[in-house]
Structure 1
Amino acid sequence: MKFINILTLIFVIVGGLNWGLVGLFSFDLVAAIFGAGSALVRIVYILVGLSAAWQVVPLFASMGSGELAAERTR
């Protein structure tokens, strides 16, 4: 399970950085690497979206355990 969490977190970071580049410079790095409109670009975008959905699970788990509340009290 830890491997999946790390892998999905990497995809979420890649997606976030890509959106930052799109917002700041109108530059889509994923499309530039794999070719705009290619099947690989769609696969990467799908993996980023699925990874973001997967990262909701650890978020709610940490909220349920009180881990986030403990972090706020420091």
Structure 2
Amino acid sequence: MVQKLALAITIIGALNWGVVGLFSFDVVAQFADGHAQPFARFFYIVVGISGLISLGLLFDTLRENEVEHVAVAEPEEI
């Protein structure tokens, strides 16, 4: 549950940075009346922590892909 919430927050933060890159408009700074305001700084910190938590999802996926595949011999029909 925590990882899913962190992933959602990370995606929202990424969308904000996409808007900053495309249109030079920071949605969070607009709502907080500036990027240095406490609310904006808090949101940026939450997005950063969420990104770190989301790294766990990446490593879980990589770990699942490393599972060894064991060949199972089928019994011959008699």
Normalising to structure 2: TM-score of the pair? 0.77
Structure 2 Cα separation of the partners of residues 13 and 62 of structure 1: 18
Gaps of 5+ in 1: 68-74
Larger Rg: 2
The Cα offsets for residues 23-65 of structure 1, whole Å up to 9 and x where unpaired, read as 0000000011122021010000001011011111111011011
Report the equivalent of 1:25: 23
Normalising to structure 1: TM-score of the pair? 0.81
Q: What percent identity do the matched residue pairs reach? A: 40
Structure 2 Cα separation of the partners of residues 58 and 49 of structure 1: 15
Structure 2 Cα separation of the partners of residues 11 and 35 of structure 1: 21
Instruction: Give the CA RMSD over aligned residues.
Output: 1.2
The structure where helix makes up a greater share of residues is: 1
Aligned residue pairs total 65
